[in-house]
């Protein structure tokens, strides 16, 4: 039906947000309701949600996952932790002039050593000598996306995390959640909007463009998610009451839909490589809050499946023409799907 070139678009570089706005909830919101587009502020989400609606948020916390170091031989190395496997072991991208083999030691951040283990596809297994999370928090650098051109600073330490982050493990932020501050969350609670949480540890693969024109040939990156039973119960109660299940971000949506592949949402933890393209019928999520996504990305394909291909093309053209801010620190959209299972 669709090929890679169908998801390309021209984005002026000045539309890529390099810094967050002073206030989280000060972003703009493009409300996409079928062919109808409405320019709003993000705080208008309060009027667009109803009592009994359920917001499902991703409570992952971004790790300081980037390191610079040197091998025993003196060669320079850049390491980006992709996934924590246990308290002493990670999977990581390793950039070096020569690929390090098993047993090679790398000094990271001029502070501690790791030992290279076996390859795992495009990743390397790295063995730490002490607790992974402690060393990452103490010596790592925040892994800002490749399109953000400044080095991470104090503002990023706070603003590239959601205010409801809880479970460390992501190497990229669930960016739709960045728009919510405590004041807006409280107003939503006061209105009677309900909240539930999933954990999906966002991997660096979220920024990788699809490179095969035939989408069926694309190998989706995998991400680890946990679906709590209390979230399953909240979703069932919401649907029974005829209210909307609103995913805050594509990561929450992927977790919900991955856990719904039997037709019913089920609790548990698993890897997901769910690749959502137009033609997919959504089993759990009815509305989606999301940022604007990269050309030729799996996330652009996902939102096109959710709201409609033509509708997303029109929305993106409108957003560019009306100077919306794009990507992680950018503005948001509210989408409704007609494509229900």
* Rg of the chain taking only CA atoms, in angstroms: 20
pLDDT tens track for 192-217: 999 999 999 998 777 777 989 999 99
Average pLDDT, the chain: 96
| Euclidean distance between CA atoms 80 and 95, whole angstroms | 9
pLDDT tens track for 249-259: 999 999 999 99
Q: What is the mean pLDDT of residues 267-285?
A: 97
Q: What is the mean pLDDT of residues 286-302?
A: 97
Write down the pLDDT at residue 292.
98
pLDDT tens track for 311-334: 999 999 999 999 999 999 999 999
Write down the pLDDT at residue 334.
98
Write down the pLDDT at residue 173.
96
List of residues 6+ apart from 85 with CB closer than 8 A:
91, 125
| Euclidean distance between CA atoms 245 and 253, whole angstroms | 10
Write down the pLDDT at residue 206.
75
Label residue 221 by pLDDT band (50, 70, 90): confident
**Which residues sit opposite 57 in a β-bridge?**
197
| Euclidean distance between CA atoms 10 and 1, whole angstroms | 22
Environment class of residue 222 by beta-carbon count within 10 Å: exposed (0-12), middle (13-18) or buried (19+)? Answer: middle
pLDDT > 70 in the chain, percent: 100
Write down the pLDDT at residue 116.
97
| Euclidean distance between CA atoms 107 and 290, whole angstroms | 39
The terminus-to-terminus CA distance of the chain in angstroms comes to: 19
Write down the pLDDT at residue 204.
79
Q: Which pTM value belongs to this model?
A: 0.96
| Euclidean distance between CA atoms 341 and 32, whole angstroms | 21
Residue 310 has pLDDT above 80, yes or no: yes
Q: What is the mean pLDDT of residues 271-278?
A: 96
pLDDT tens track for 87-132: 999 999 999 989 899 999 999 999 999 999 999 888 999 999 999 9
| Euclidean distance between CA atoms 82 and 200, whole angstroms | 13
Q: What is the mean pLDDT of residues 152-176?
A: 97
Positive or negative: CA dihedral 276, 56, 15, 66? negative
Residue 237 has pLDDT above 90, yes or no: yes
| Euclidean distance between CA atoms 63 and 82, whole angstroms | 10
| Euclidean distance between CA atoms 323 and 253, whole angstroms | 27
| Euclidean distance between CA atoms 310 and 199, whole angstroms | 31
Residue 72 has pLDDT above 90, yes or no: no
Write down the pLDDT at residue 208.
75
């Amino acid at each position: 039906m669709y090929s890679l070139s169908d998801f390309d678009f021209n984005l002026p570089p000045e539309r890529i947000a390099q810094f967050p706005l002073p206030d989280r909830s000060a972003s703009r919101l493009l409300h996409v309701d079928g062919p109808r587009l409405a320019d709003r502020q993000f705080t208008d989400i309060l009027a667009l949600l109803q009592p009994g609606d359920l917001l499902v948020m991703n409570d992952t916390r971004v790790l300081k996952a980037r390191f610079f170091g040197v091998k025993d031989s003196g060669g320079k190395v850049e390491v980006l932790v992709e996934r924590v496997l246990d308290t002493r072991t990670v999977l990581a991208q390793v950039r070096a002039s020569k690929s390090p083999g098993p047993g090679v030691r790398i000094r990271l951040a001029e502070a501690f050593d790791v030992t290279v283990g076996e390859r795992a596809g495009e990743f390397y297994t790295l063995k730490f000598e002490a607790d992974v999370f402690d060393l990452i928090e103490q010596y790592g650098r925040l892994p800002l996306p490749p399109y953000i051109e400044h080095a991470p600073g104090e503002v990023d330490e706070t603003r590239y995390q959601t205010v409801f982050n809880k479970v460390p493990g992501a190497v990229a932020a669930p960016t739709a959640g960045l728009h919510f501050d405590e004041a807006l969350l409280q107003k939503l609670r006061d209105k009677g909007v309900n909240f539930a949480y999933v954990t999906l540890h966002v991997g660096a693969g979220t920024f990788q463009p699809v490179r095969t024109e035939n989408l069926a040939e694309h190998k989706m990156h995998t991400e680890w998610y946990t679906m709590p039973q209390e979230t399953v119960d909240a979703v069932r109660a919401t649907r029974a009451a005829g209210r909307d299940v609103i995913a805050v971000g594509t990561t929450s949506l992927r977790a919900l839909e991955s856990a719904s592949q039997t037709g019913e949402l089920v609790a548990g933890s698993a890897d997901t490589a769910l690749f959502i393209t137009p033609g997919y019928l959504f089993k759990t999520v009815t509305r989606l809050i999301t940022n604007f996504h990269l050309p030729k990305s799996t996330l652009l394909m996902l939102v096109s499946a959710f709201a409609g291909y033509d509708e997303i093309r029109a929305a993106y053209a409108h957003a560019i023409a009306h100077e919306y801010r794009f990507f992680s620190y950018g503005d948001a959209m509210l989408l409704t799907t007609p494509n229900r299972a």
